């Protein structure tokens, strides 16, 4: 699949355009992963507290919870949208 995409991009455009596409795809997929990680961390801790447990019982206490998790989700979504802005405008 990736080879077919590379051949198609290289034939219709330049190798530089193909490289830019692959670079953008890998960057956006990484930010999607980090956004999911931050979101799941927020949901896990909220569910943990709603079950009547204390956050202090967890072996790892997240610094700045819940603000750092919310900040991470918002920032990664903004970066994802910013990465594809030229696709949305054109």
pLDDT of residue 75: 96
Identify whether the C-beta of residue 34 lies closer than 8 Å to the C-beta of residue 69: no
What is the 8-class DSSP label of residue 86? H
pLDDT of residue 82: 87
Identify whether the C-beta of residue 63 lies closer than 8 Å to the C-beta of residue 26: no
Average pLDDT per run of 10 along the chain, which is 90 residues long? 64 72 85 96 94 91 89 95 72
pLDDT of residue 90: 57
Number of H helices, E strands in the chain: 4, 0
pLDDT of residue 87: 62
């Amino acid at each position: 699949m990736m080879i077919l995409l590379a051949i198609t991009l290289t034939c219709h455009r330049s190798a530089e355009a193909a490289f830019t596409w692959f670079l953008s795809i890998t960057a956006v997929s990484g930010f999607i992963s980090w956004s999911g990680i931050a979101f799941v961390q927020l949901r896990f801790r909220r569910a943990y507290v709603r079950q009547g447990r204390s956050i202090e019982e967890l072996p790892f206490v997240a610094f700045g919870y819940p603000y750092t998790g919310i900040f991470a989700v918002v920032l990664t979504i903004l970066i994802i949208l910013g990465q594809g802005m030229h696709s949305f405008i054109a």
